[in-house]
C-alpha cells in the first residue's frame, strides 16, 4: 500500500528481514564484547540500529569480518561442496554493560532427578564399564588376536 494516505493512515509495523545469531565465542573475549553471526547483507550500522532500537541494548562499537565457508566436504562424485560464507560481528557494549552466557546445563545436581533414578543410572553405567573393560587374564593381548 502507498507510503502516505490521506485522512486516517494505517499504523505500520516494521519487521526486519535479518536474522542474527548470538554465538558463544571460541576464544576468550572481554565481558563487554558479544559475538553475533549475521547475514552478509547486514552492515555494522544496521546491526547497531537493530540492537539499540529493537532490544534497547546500548552499543559502543561494532566490528565485522567475513568468515569464508569450509571447502572440505565432497559429494558422491568427489566434487567439493563449499559451505556459504557468513559475517561475524563483534559488538562492544556501552560502558558498564557486561554479558555472560548462562549455564544451561550445570554439572551439579539436577532439579528433576531423584536419588533412586541416579543410583539406578550409576549401577547401569558401572555394569557397562565392566563389560567393556578388557579381560585381565589375557595379559594385554587384544580380543581380536586369539582363537
- DSSP code per residue over 54-99: HS---EEEEEEEEEPPP---B-TTS-B-PPPPEEEEEEEEPTT---
- What DSSP string runs through 105-138? S-SS--SS--HHHHHHHHHHHHHHHHHHSPPGGG
pLDDT in 10s for each residue of the chain, 147 residues = 456 666 766 666 677 888 999 999 999 999 999 999 999 999 999 999 999 998 999 999 999 999 999 999 999 999 999 999 999 999 999 999 999 888 888 877 656 556 788 889 999 999 998 888 878 888 878 878 876
What's this model's pTM, rounded to 2 decimal places?
Answer: 0.63
Q: Where are the domains of the chain?
A: 21-93
For residue 142, what pLDDT is reported? 80
CATH second-level architecture of 21-93? 2-Layer Sandwich (3.30)
Amino acid at each position: 500500500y502507498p507510503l502516505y494516505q490521506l485522512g486516517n493512515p494505517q499504523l505500520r509495523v516494521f519487521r526486519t528481514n535479518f536474522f542474527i545469531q548470538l554465538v558463544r565465542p571460541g576464544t576468550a573475549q572481554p565481558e563487554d564484547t558479544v559475538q553475533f553471526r549475521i547475514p552478509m547483507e547486514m552492515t555494522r550500522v544496521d546491526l547497531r540500529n537493530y540492537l539499540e532500537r529493537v532490544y534497547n541494548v546500548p552499543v559502543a562499537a561494532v566490528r565485522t569480518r567475513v568468515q569464508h565457508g569450509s571447502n572440505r566436504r565432497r559429494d558422491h562424485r568427489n566434487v567439493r561442496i563449499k559451505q556459504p560464507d557468513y559475517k561475524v560481528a563483534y559488538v562492544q557494549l556501552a560502558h558498564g554493560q557486561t554479558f555472560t552466557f548462562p549455564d544451561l546445563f550445570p554439572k551439579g545436581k539436577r532439579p528433576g532427578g531423584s536419588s533412586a533414578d541416579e543410583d539406578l543410572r550409576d549401577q547401569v553405567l558401572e555394569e557397562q564399564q565392566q563389560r567393556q573393560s578388557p579381560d585381565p587374564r589375557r595379559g594385554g593381548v587384544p580380543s581380536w588376536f586369539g582363537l
